[in-house]
Amino acid sequence: MWERSHIQKAGLDMSHTIREIAQLAGVSKSTVSRVISGKGYIHPETRDAVLKVIEELQYKPNAVARAMVSQRTHNIGVLIYRREYPIASHPFYGKIVDAILATAARMNYSVFVTTDHEMSLRSADFMLEKRVDGLILISRLQQNVIDYIHNFGIPYVMVNGSTDVDNVVHVVNRDQDGGMMAAEYLTGLGHRRIFVLAGPQTHRSHYLRLHGFRDYLNGIGSPLDPSSLAYPQASTFEQGYEMMQQHWPDFKSGGYTALFATNDMIALGAMKFLIEQSVRIPDQVAVIGFDGIDVASIYTPSLTTIKVDTEAMGRTACTLLDKLIDQQPVNELDIELVPELIIRQST
Amino acid sequence: MWERSHIQKAGLDMSHTIREIAQLAGVSKSTVSRVISGKGYIHPETRDAVLKVIEELQYKPNAVARAMVSQRTHNIGVLIYRREYPIASHPFYGKIVDAILATAARMNYSVFVTTDHEMSLRSADFMLEKRVDGLILISRLQQNVIDYIHNFGIPYVMVNGSTDVDNVVHVVNRDQDGGMMAAEYLTGLGHRRIFVLAGPQTHRSHYLRLHGFRDYLNGIGSPLDPSSLAYPQASTFEQGYEMMQQHWPDFKSGGYTALFATNDMIALGAMKFLIEQSVRIPDQVAVIGFDGIDVASIYTPSLTTIKVDTEAMGRTACTLLDKLIDQQPVNELDIELVPELIIRQST
DNA sequence: TTGGGATGTGGGAACGGTCTCACATTCAGA
DNA sequence: TCTGAATGTGAGACCGTTCCCACATCCCAA
């Protein structure tokens, strides 16, 4: 049986306070504070003496106490709504989180990461009570959660979501343009019979991607036939597979030469089914997805896709949030990022 | 041009203090504190009156102030060392983080997630200054970072890593057993000529997995030939692909019927190369990986693997850390989780 | 010599809670 | 009627910082 006290003893000793430093250096705590912050006048000799004690005791300023008086925690929260997947390992949102983590670190913010499924208000409450300086809301959170946060009066930025509230900073992908890019690319390759797997149309992204795609086809006078469309209920691999399976008879008889899915996971699921049916990709059927998740690049065949700039999403969200926190003016409320066509083996 | 003051005004008003509540309820702040904490005697009527004011003002206790006096932040930090990938989106570590996030939320902890590449001590310093109640260290951090944290005297748990320091709680996978399971399974299928791609042997996991595999083969009198072994420099998809490509001539002429890789990413990379060479999997070559990442299950063919219980890793780490924080006795320092063989299409 | 800016330091009030202690009231049992 | 435990409330110290203000030098120009 082993008790924690052992570990405790192993450490040199628990953390010190500014008062102890002051005492040992023979100065007042105000002076120590001045040395640490670098503000105000201080005699070089005094500074060195204080610095020496700080070094010796391995003193680390208490950020909690600091936050208490400065009313700034230098913490931000990331709140994600996900039903299907947990957050961090989500192939798409995880990338955004990564970018936020990297950018926030550079800006000296620590990041609370929270996933919110079901308990909704509880996780928001948590962040609010912890007095984060600001929040980044990812994906489509329930409106009541947004209102709740909004009413608390804390700065926040929405990523890849939408809300009814006005005057909120949004960072989104130009999904409609991306849809058009996909259509332009496929038709440019000569494809005319294209099957489309469109994820939940209640989702802003899926909706816009489909519409961009459709608009382009309309524009070139080759409109999308309703029978060429299927709607997976969720934007998952499994749904992609099942939907493809379900529509396989029509697909075969329909003379389709290409497939567009409104996200990569659906595309991959569909592709798996096609491969299992010994369909040669891209020779018999070309496949294009949307998102640009990592898996798409390592699949066999690797998946052509419209890549969302998740790095920029996270980075921009962070930068804007920092501005809001600093009360700096933000001259654009809606940041729209341009996606990129990544051509791979599947087309 | 839009300024943040607009958003500010939108909120009902900034957060209130216990003092305001007290004033409005006509009681002292001690009483309000008692209502909130539920400790001590309090008259039902007084409680209701206070509760009413709290509800009206949407009062949220300030966790920072609370932490200040209680010396407990109810925050924990997750520190991950990763060179190749960012953290959250890492297919393996991301899963552990997810489990930590879920468990921590259940235990009323908020979680700081930090990735540590290069800056090493800086991210540790950050957590320490924020006075987290404890830390979870994932993967093999540099020893000096561990020492640094250890000396500070804060409770911490190591996941999937190792250290020279004694009396540290470790949560690991039974990698050696897993290696044996892979060998047992493949030989059970009748395979005798097995090629092995073993990731960096400086990594505890890769080292043990290879050794378990080798031990089993030795045990059944069919030892692994050194020529059947290749060492990718990193445990990545690309390295798996390249290594397979490089050893392809030997592989073809060697009469191999199976491939074992010490992690899934390497296995997938190798598999991609094999598929591109029109090798039929599993008919001509059976492939087995290790880790049990999501991609393995959706690949075509899906990858048989030794799955590490990442959920239990995160959960256990959290539970143990909570015990350490609470100064409860921990009767086992090394928690070893049992991996599971997941049979899929590739074997 | 004297005034006053520049330089250097300390005292003490916040920040928003928790918690101990003191004190007041009620009430049951002797 | 008295006593003391149970119940209920408030005052104020404290957690570890920051920052304002007061005060003490020092130095240089008038």
Preceding peptide of A301 cis, ω within 30°? yes
**Region of poorest pLDDT, from A10-14, A172-176, B82-86:** A10-14
Mean pLDDT, residues A198-216: 96
B110 within 8 A of B75, measured Cβ to Cβ: yes
Q: Do the Cβ atoms of A329 and B2 come within 8 Å?
A: yes
How large is the C-alpha radius of gyration of chain A? Answer: 26
Judge whether residue B261 has pLDDT over 80: yes
What domains, with CATH codes, occur in chain B?
Answer: 5-61 (1.10.260.40), 75-172+311-338 (3.40.50.2300), 175-307 (3.40.50.2300)
Burial A38-58 (b: 16+ CB within 10 A, else e): eeeeeeeebbebbeebbeebe
Round to whole Å and give the CA distance between A209 and A213. Answer: 6
Judge whether residue B1 has pLDDT over 50: no
The pLDDT of residue B83 = 67
Which of A1, A2, A98 shows the shortest C-beta gap to B86? A98
Q: Do the Cβ atoms of A165 and B10 come within 8 Å?
A: yes
Round to whole Å and give the CA distance between B25 and B52. Answer: 8
The pLDDT of residue B248 = 97
The pLDDT of residue A8 = 34
Q: Do the Cβ atoms of B113 and A88 come within 8 Å?
A: yes
Note every long-range contact of B187-191, with CB atoms under 8 Å and residues 24 or more positions apart, other chains counting. Answer: B187/B216, B187/B217, B187/B220, B187/B222, B189/B258, B189/B286, B189/B347, B191/B257, B191/B258, B191/B286
Judge whether residue B123 has pLDDT over 60: yes
Please check whether residue B212 touches A, CB under 8 A: no
Round to whole Å and give the CA distance between B240 and B73. Answer: 44
Judge whether residue B2 has pLDDT over 60: no
The pLDDT of residue A9 = 35
Burial class (CB in 10 A: 0-12, 13-18, 19+), B334: exposed
Contacts of B15 in chain A (CB under 8 A): 128, 131, 152-153
Q: Which residues interact with strand D by a CB < 7 Å criterion?
A: A 15-19, 29-30, 33, 36-37, 39, 59, 61-62, 65-66, 68-70; B 26-31, 34, 40-46, 65, 68-69, 71
The pLDDT of residue A7 = 35
B293 within 8 A of B91, measured Cβ to Cβ: yes
**Region of poorest pLDDT, from A183-197, B30-44, B160-174, B241-255:** B160-174
Round to whole Å and give the CA distance between B24 and B37. Answer: 19
Judge whether residue B274 has pLDDT over 70: yes
Q: N- to C-terminal Cα distance for chain A? A: 62
Express as a percent the part of chain A with pLDDT over 70. Answer: 94
**A163 backbone φψ class: left, alpha, beta (φ>0; ψ -120 to 50):** beta
Scan residues 24-53 of B and list those with Cβ closer than 8 Å to A: none
Judge whether residue B193 has pLDDT over 50: yes
Note every long-range contact of B204-208, with CB atoms under 8 Å and residues 24 or more positions apart, other chains counting. Answer: B204/B140, B204/B160, B204/B161, B204/B162, B204/B172, B204/B175, B205/B160, B205/B173, B205/B175, B205/B262, B205/B263, B206/B235, B206/B262, B206/B263, B208/B175, B208/B176, B208/B179
User: Residue A340: helix, strand or coil by DSSP?
Assistant: strand
A100 within 8 A of A134, measured Cβ to Cβ: no
Round to whole Å and give the CA distance between B67 and A102. Answer: 27
What residues are paired with A231 via a beta bridge?
none
The pLDDT of residue B8 = 34
State pLDDT tens for residues B58-86: 999 999 999 999 999 999 999 987 766 67
The pLDDT of residue B14 = 66
Round to whole Å and give the CA distance between B171 and A304. Answer: 39
Judge whether residue A82 has pLDDT over 90: no
The pLDDT of residue B139 = 87
Judge whether residue B278 has pLDDT over 70: yes
Please check whether residue A8 touches B, CB under 8 A: yes
Beta strands in A142-285 (DSSP E): 156-159, 169-173, 194-197, 229-230, 258-261
Mean pLDDT, residues B216-231: 95
Helices then strands (H, E): number in chain A?
15, 12
Round to whole Å and give the CA distance between A160 and A309. Answer: 11
Scan residues 97-156 of B and list those with Cβ closer than 8 Å to A: 97-99, 101-102, 105, 110-115, 119, 123, 125-131, 150-155
The pLDDT of residue A167 = 84
Q: Mean pLDDT across chain A, nearest whole number?
A: 91
The pLDDT of residue B166 = 78
User: CA of A328 to nearest chain B CA: how many angstroms apart?
Assistant: 7
Judge whether residue A198 has pLDDT over 70: yes
Judge whether residue B9 has pLDDT over 60: no
The pLDDT of residue A14 = 65
The pLDDT of residue A11 = 38
Judge whether residue B309 has pLDDT over 80: yes
User: Residue B105: helix, strand or coil by DSSP?
Assistant: helix
Q: What is the torsional sign of CA B129, B135, B141, B142?
A: positive
The four Cα atoms A217, A223, A226, A228 give a dihedral, to 10 degrees, of -60
Band of the pLDDT at A295, cuts 50, 70, 90? very high
**Region of poorest pLDDT, from A1-15, A26-40, B41-55, B159-173:** A1-15
B71 nearest nucleotide via C1' and CA? D15
Higher pLDDT, A338 or A7: A338
Judge whether residue B6 has pLDDT over 80: no
A34 nearest nucleotide via C1' and CA? D18
Express as a percent the part of chain B with pLDDT over 70. Answer: 94
The pLDDT of residue B3 = 32
The pLDDT of residue A118 = 63
Q: Do the Cβ atoms of B1 and A153 come within 8 Å?
A: no
Band of the pLDDT at A85, cuts 50, 70, 90? low
Cα A248 from chain centre: 34
Q: For residue B230, give both structure tokens.
A: 């290749």
